[in-house]
């Protein structure tokens, strides 16, 4: 549109001149707007109203003013400020939307500055711009959906994704669940900035009289509502607070965020609760405190937190959502014992806050019995858990029956693998096939499973990739309005916690798909983190810690390809017992606080620094052979990922054992400097290797069949990419994985000595 014509239309909007429709709005506010039909019909809502045969389609359905009533009574998410900005956008103008920079996470402050540095004041809102609180962004999205303005709905959705943080995640999640935009705060303007004069307020009494008059005089009402009046819904209990794919994607982004940062947020919340017990001063009050500046010095200043301290675990999440997040395969904890410890801490935190609530206790029991996998724990650990009792209730956290079943499953897995102790070319006689040697006979169909004695089953995945949460650049405005799932589908999406739910099903819940395959034993879950990935050089690797599962050792490594932009490969590797265990990637001490946006002087030594300080700074390992995987860019829909298998190390011309030893060494005489992807050699020729995990027994088979999935979290946590693989053959020292350009690790810092970025991933592996 030519600029002079756009300016002309916007001036007519601001002045109300030459209007041909008088729009009377009722709902959260009551006002009259002087508008122009030819502009309004850009939005499908008004196009339908004025061109679909309603009486409003006539030039002047109610006198010279052409008055039309629009009611938002049943959609409290539509607010005046959001509605007025929607109108202004139709006219090609309106104030810019200003989101406070302290609410936006970044790779420098992945939990947002307002959360990690609450004493910092908010910058002022630029003149002529509208301050966009999280509540306003949700209202803008709702209003744009109601009026059907795709471009503005997309803009609002992108800003919501950009502001997911500890301060907003509960509000956004409640919105995705259909609970509305939440209560307003006193500082939120009721009207849109620079547009305060465009709507003429009307009293509720005159509005009621007008509607009664319409009821008496309008004889030719349309089937969709009274003449001159459009309502958001005809049913009081209809799901009007859900917005299709937009609600689902916001829910996914919140779920992904909680799985990435949940444990970190719990540590911080426990510290805050302890501080409140010692000195119960509300965080929003001004008080004299000592805070550490970023150079490590301490300064005393009076500060007032801009935002209330979020109570995500203690108050914000429902008990059911706590169960869903902690039970999720994507929940970032080291292993199942760490998951159990997290569950204990959250449950006791809730019991201290709310007391013993019977409805919650049922959910807590499900969390401990079904949400944590004990089948891979040795007997000594199971016995310890058997005697672990809640200080609040005096009862054990996990039932004895669950632990007994776990011990049985552990023994059964060991029995199945131990029968291969005499593995050789003649094992099983002539009838034994290669497939029989690879598999343990655990895979079954739903029909067979229903006749078995097993109570629970887990799916064997097929080759897929799925992005959960913020879709990034793949989101199209029109797709938000073309997607209209049935109510049952929406409910199912919420019930599976927006894609992060555990896949455990009972025998009776198994679907009737004849092609689906299930196993009656829990998979093994663990998490890995790679530091300094943004600076990783070509053909270099970063390794995770090494775990033991069902007789074999595994680790995960990542490597970079930079020929056409940064592509990261993430691979699951079956470790050889004859090779040195690679040293896992770990951060410099300062990087911990950089990742959380905190100063090291202000963080408890026992919560974050202590577990890290004792670990050497791992160096990356050169890759013996280049990866051969193809490019892969996941999209929201499921699609087969491109996987690759690295060549067997035993065929490498160089000794993998010697190579790993050399690259894992460092000089103990001086602390490691900025992250360096090059392997280093100690000045004394010494090497430092990681300690191998405890191995109660070993699988003697040179090759096994296993399914697995790797879920990689984005840098700020608003999305994750899940790669899943059906059963593959893992020979000793063989790796399977993916190479993708969609894995978000952020931008490398100018001063890498001050900041190191990490890639977090959760891994699931199971034998068949």
164 within some domain = yes
Q: What's the number of domains the chain is made of?
A: 2
Q: How far apart are CA 339 and CA 346, in angstroms?
A: 11
Q: How far apart are CA 703 and CA 714, in angstroms?
A: 33
Q: How far apart are CA 134 and CA 99, in angstroms?
A: 9
Q: How far apart are CA 485 and CA 315, in angstroms?
A: 31
613 within some domain = yes
In DSSP terms, 679 is beta-bridged to none
Q: What is the DSSP string of 547-591?
A: EEETTEEEEEEEEEE-BTB-EEEEEEEEE-TTSPPPPPP---HHH
Domain boundary among 193, 210, 245: 245
194 within some domain = yes
Q: How far apart are the first and last CA of the chain?
A: 62
- pLDDT of 555: 98
Question: For 680-738, what is each residue's pLDDT tens digit?
Answer: 222 333 334 578 899 999 999 999 999 999 999 999 999 999 999 999 999 999 999 99
- pLDDT of 533: 87
- pLDDT of 306: 65
CATH number at residue 65: 3.30.710.10
Question: For 99-144, what is each residue's pLDDT tens digit?
Answer: 999 999 998 899 999 999 998 888 999 999 999 999 999 999 999 9
Task: Give residue 445's pLDDT band: very low, low, confident or very high (50, 70, 90).
Answer: confident
394 within some domain = no
Pairing state between β 21-26 and 67-71: parallel
- Residue pair 267/608 in contact (Cβ under 8 Å)? The answer is yes
- pLDDT of 145: 94
- With 0-12 / 13-18 / 19 or more C-beta atoms within 10 angstroms meaning exposed / middle / buried, residue 513 is exposed
Domain boundary among 221, 245, 269: 245
- Residue pair 672/585 in contact (Cβ under 8 Å)? The answer is no
pTM over 0.85: no
Residue whose C-alpha is closest to residue 459's, from 406, 416, 414, 511: 511
185 within some domain = yes
381 within some domain = no
H or E stretch covering 458: strand 456-459
Domain boundary among 187, 221, 245: 245
Residues 414-419: contacts with CB under 8 Å, at least 24 apart: 414/551, 414/696, 414/697, 416/440, 416/441, 416/442, 417/550, 417/551, 417/697, 417/699, 418/697
Flag whether pLDDT at 655 surpasses 80.
no
269 within some domain = no
3-state class (DSSP) for residue 24 = strand
Pairing state between β 567-575 and 735-740: antiparallel
- With 0-12 / 13-18 / 19 or more C-beta atoms within 10 angstroms meaning exposed / middle / buried, residue 95 is buried
- pLDDT of 754: 54
Token couple for 225: 């509502």
Question: For 463-514, what is each residue's pLDDT tens digit?
Answer: 999 999 988 766 666 667 765 444 444 444 788 999 999 988 888 888 888 7
- Residue pair 685/403 in contact (Cβ under 8 Å)? The answer is no
Residue whose C-alpha is closest to residue 551's, from 404, 709, 735, 421: 421
Flag whether pLDDT at 160 surpasses 60.
yes
Stronger pLDDT, 240 or 113, i.e. the higher one? 113
Q: How far apart are CA 209 and CA 212, in angstroms?
A: 5
Rg (CA), the chain: 30
714 within some domain = yes
Question: For 553-562, what is each residue's pLDDT tens digit?
Answer: 999 999 988 8
Range of the domain at 139: 3-245
Token couple for 603: 């963080």
């Amino acid at each position: 549109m030519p600029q002079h014509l756009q300016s002309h239309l916007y001036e007519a909007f601001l002045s109300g001149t030459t209007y041909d429709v008088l729009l009377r709005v009722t709902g959260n506010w009551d006002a009259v707007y002087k508008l122009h039909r030819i502009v309004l019909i850009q939005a499908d809502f008004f196009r339908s109203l004025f061109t679909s045969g309603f009486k409003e389609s006539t030039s002047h359905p109610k006198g010279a003013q052409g008055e039309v009533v629009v009611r938002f009574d049943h959609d409290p998410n539509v607010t005046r400020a959001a509605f007025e900005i929607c109108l202004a956008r139709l006219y090609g103008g309106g104030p810019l939307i200003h989101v406070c920079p302290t609410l936006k996470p970044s790779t420098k402050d992945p939990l947002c500055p307002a959360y990690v540095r609450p004493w910092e004041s908010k910058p002022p809102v630029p003149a002529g711009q509208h301050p966009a609180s999280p509540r306003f962004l949700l209202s803008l999205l709702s209003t744009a959906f109601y009026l059907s303005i795709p471009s503005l709905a997309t803009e609002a959705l992108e800003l919501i994704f950009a502001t997911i943080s500890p301060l907003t995640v509960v509000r956004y999640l409640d919105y995705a669940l259909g609970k509305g935009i939440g209560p307003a705060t006193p500082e939120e303007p009721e009207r849109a900035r620079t547009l305060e004069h465009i709507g003429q307020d009307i009293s509720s009494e005159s509005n009621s009289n007008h509607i009664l008059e319409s009821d008496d005089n309008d004889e030719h009402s349309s089937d969709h509502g009274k003449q001159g009046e459009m309502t958001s819904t005809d049913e009081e209990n209809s799901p009007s607070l859900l917005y299709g794919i937009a609600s689902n994607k916001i829910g996914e982004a919140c779920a992904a965020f909680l799985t990435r940062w949940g444990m970190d947020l719990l540590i911080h919340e426990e510290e805050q609760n302890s501080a409140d017990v010692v000195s119960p001063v509300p965080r929003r009050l001004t008080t004299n405190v000592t805070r550490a500046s970023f150079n490590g010095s301490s300064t005393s200043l009076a500060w007032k937190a801009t935002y209330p301290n979020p109570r995500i675990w203690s108050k914000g999440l429902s008990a059911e959502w706590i169960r869903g997040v902690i039970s999720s395969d994507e929940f970032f904890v080291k292993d199942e014992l760490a998951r159990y410890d997290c569950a204990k801490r959250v449950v006791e935190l809730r019991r201290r806050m709310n007391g013993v609530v019977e409805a919650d206790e049922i959910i807590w029991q499900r969390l401990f019995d079904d949400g944590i996998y004990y089948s891979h724990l040795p007997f000594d650990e199971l016995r310890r858990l058997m005697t672990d009792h809640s200080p609040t209730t005096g009862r054990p956290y996990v039932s004895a029956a669950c632990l007994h079943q776990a011990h049985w499953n552990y023994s059964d897995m060991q029995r199945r693998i131990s029968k291969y102790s005499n593995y050789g070319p003649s094992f099983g006689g002539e009838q034994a096939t290669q497939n029989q040697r690879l598999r343990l006979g655990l895979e079954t169909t739903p029909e067979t499973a229903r006749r078995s004695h097993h109570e629970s089953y887990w799916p064997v995945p097929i080759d897929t990739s799925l992005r959960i949460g913020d879709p990034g650049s793949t989101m199209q405005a029109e797709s938000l309005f073309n997607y209209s799932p049935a109510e049952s589908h929406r409910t199912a999406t919420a019930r599976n916690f927006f894609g992060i739910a555990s896949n455990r099903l009972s025998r009776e819940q198994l679907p009737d798909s004849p092609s689906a395959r299930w196993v009656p034993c829990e998979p093994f879950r663990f998490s890995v983190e790679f530091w300094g990935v943004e600076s990783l050089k070509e053909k270099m690797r970063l390794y995770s810690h090494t775990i033991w599962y069902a007789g074999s050792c595994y680790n995960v490594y990542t490597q970079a390809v930079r020929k056409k932009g940064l592509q990261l490969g993430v691979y699951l590797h079956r470790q050889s017992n004859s090779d040195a265990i690679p040293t896992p990637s770990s951060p410099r001490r300062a990087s911990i606080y950089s990742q959380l946006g905190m100063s090291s002087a202000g963080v408890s030594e026992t919560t974050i620094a202590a577990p890290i300080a004792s670990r050497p700074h791992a160096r990356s390992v050169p890759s013996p052979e280049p990866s051969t995987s193809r490019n892969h860019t996941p999209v929201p829909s499921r699609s087969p990922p491109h996987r690759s298998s690295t060549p067997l190390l035993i065929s490498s011309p160089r000794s993998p054992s010697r190579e790993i030893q050399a690259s894992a060494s460092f000089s103990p005489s001086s602390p490691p400097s900025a992250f360096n992807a090059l392997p280093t050699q100690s000045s004394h020729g010494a090497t430092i290797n990681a300690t191998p995990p405890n191995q109660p027994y070993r699988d003697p088979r040179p090759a096994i069949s296993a399914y697995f999935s790797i879920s990689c979290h984005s840098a700020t946590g608003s999305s994750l990419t899940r790669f899943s693989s059906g059963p593959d053959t893992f020979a000793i020292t063989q790796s399977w994985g993916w190479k993708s350009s969609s894995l978000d690790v952020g931008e490398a810092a100018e001063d890498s000595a001050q900041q190191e970025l990490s890639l977090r991933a959760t891994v699931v592996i199971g034998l068949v």
